[in-house]
Amino acid sequence: MRKPGSLTFLLALAACAGPRPAPPVGVAVVAPPAWRTALGPGAPIRTDWWNAFGDPVLTGYVVRALANSPDLGAAAARVEEARAAERLARAQQSPLVTAGVPLTDGQTVSPLGTPSTAIGAQPLVQASYDLDLFDRLKSASAAARAQALASEGARDTVRLAIASGVATGYITLRALDHRLLVARQTLAARAESLRIARRRAETGYTSNLELRQAEGEYHAAEQLVPQAQLLIARQENALSVLIGDPPGPITRGLALDRLTAPAIPDGLPADLLRRRPDLFQAEQTLVATDRSLDSARAALLPGISLTGSAGVVLSTALANPIGVFSLGGSILSPLFDGGRLRAQASAAAARRDAAAFAYRRSALTAFREVDDSLAGVLRAGEQATALAAQREALAGALRNASNRYRAGYSSYIDQLDAQRGLLTAELTLIQARTDRLNAYVSLYQALGGGWSSADITDVNR
């Protein structure tokens, strides 16, 4: 299990020849005062946070999407590529051994001047090894290791985004289903009002004005049904493609108002952000660029390489084979390269600094997203509570207005105003509940997989 480092930016200063460039200024990242640290390093990532909504159908869709997603498959392939690059970098630190048997034809001349035909063969085994006194290869291997971990963070970011997209899409679909239900109920109520208005107009109890108003309101409600059906069809198609199926109908689970809203503790540990895969990716990218700088600076220094070879010489001019071997070393140091190596080191330093600021930006973005999601959960919940109370009041007002209209104590306009107000309140309530549930999804995503009861217990100690 990976263990991300601290949210506070600390550049690793590995031993290397020469003074090290100063780290960029102002990259420290500090948690907001409201955050409380309770978890230790290496807290596990939750991979089943979608179960908190209590809908097995939603859980099944998320599992299918993670299994069928081509984006996740491509991210996994990039992880394998990065791991192969890491193995290649490690292999550069090992000795290189080659073998060969070159064949030659020719003549040799004896001491008496008599030529003779000779066929020579020299089976050779050659080995070379870079001592890597200044850790150039070691730093390159560490950079490849960090880059492989960063690719894993990118893969987990895709995984979290897919799960969040499925959850948001499913919640949106259930909200559209509720909107369609409200539209059909409203259409039925308007049809009843139209029936009463037509009967009253036919008997001469009222003018045709009320009849025309009732007809207009009926058709206004009538267009809400196909509009909601169109949105549902599009959302079903989008969700089907997301889970890896052809566009088509989607099986439903719990209704929107039955989805569970998990409890959130008063304070969340800041170390929960250490589970965020994008923050882990930024952190490992910073480590990779830092180690690449080590390797680039080490390339400015002399490199020492040991080489050796051994073989056997066979010839008709020799009575017995001759064994040959050689052992030596070489010291290579750049004398004049036009500033190439120093330019490469400067570019590596610039990439390191850019990665440091990118890490800081990722951490600050993580804090903002968590605070935004918490505010969304809280404020959307408060709005939903107020809208529910408003809906009840307007439903009572509609009942009173309908009774008075039927009894002839009030005009149709009073009932019409109550119907319009109730419809607006119901649609707004649906949107508020949807926003609240989607804010939970955003919070789970912002925390890199949510929280557990053990986390809440630790926070409340």
Residue 262 class from Cβ within 10 Å (0-12 exposed, 13-18 middle, 19+ buried)?
middle
- Please report the pLDDT score of residue 288 as a whole number: 85
More confident residue, 34 or 187: 187
Give the model's confidence band at 11: pLDDT under 50 very low, under 70 low, under 90 confident, else very high. Answer: very low
Give the model's confidence band at 32: pLDDT under 50 very low, under 70 low, under 90 confident, else very high. Answer: very low
Give the model's confidence band at 76: pLDDT under 50 very low, under 70 low, under 90 confident, else very high. Answer: confident
- Compute how many other C-beta atoms are within 10 angstroms of the C-beta atom of residue 428: 15
| pTM score of the predicted model | 0.76
- Residue 14: is its pLDDT beyond 80? no
CB distance 143 to 288 below 8 Å: yes
320-379 pLDDT tens trace: 565 555 655 566 666 666 677 788 788 888 888 888 888 888 888 888 888 898 889 989
- Mean pLDDT across the stretch 296-300? 71
With a pLDDT cut of 90, the percent of the chain lying above it is 23
Judged by DSSP in three states, 126 sits in strand
- Please report the pLDDT score of residue 20 as a whole number: 40
- Mean pLDDT across the stretch 128-136? 65
Which residues are 314's β-sheet partners? Answer: 121
Give the model's confidence band at 7: pLDDT under 50 very low, under 70 low, under 90 confident, else very high. Answer: very low
What are the extents of the domains in the chain?
A: 49-95+135-301+354-459
- Residue 428: is its pLDDT beyond 90? yes
Average confidence score pLDDT of the chain: 76
Most confident of 91-105, 135-149, 290-304, 360-374: 360-374
- Please report the pLDDT score of residue 333 as a whole number: 60
CB distance 434 to 258 below 8 Å: no
More confident residue, 274 or 39: 274
Please state, in angstroms and rounded to a whole number, the distance separating the CA atoms of residues 346 and 62: 46
More confident residue, 457 or 141: 141
- Residue 214: is its pLDDT beyond 50? yes
Please state, in angstroms and rounded to a whole number, the distance separating the CA atoms of residues 63 and 238: 16
Q: How many residues make up the chain in this entry?
A: 461
136-171 pLDDT tens trace: 777 778 888 888 888 888 888 888 889 999 999 999
- Please report the pLDDT score of residue 39 as a whole number: 31
Structure tokens at 369: 């997203």
Give the model's confidence band at 44: pLDDT under 50 very low, under 70 low, under 90 confident, else very high. Answer: very low
Which residues are 303's β-sheet partners? Answer: 332
How far, in Å, are 62, 227, 250 from residue 234 at the CA level? 19, 11, 11
- Of 66-80, 97-111, 154-168, 426-440, the poorest mean pLDDT is in 97-111
- Mean pLDDT across the stretch 304-328? 58
Angle between helices 56-68 and 136-202 (to 10 degrees): 140
Class of domain 49-95+135-301+354-459: mainly alpha
- Please report the pLDDT score of residue 22 as a whole number: 41
Q: What are phi and psi of 120, to 5 degrees?
A: -110, 145
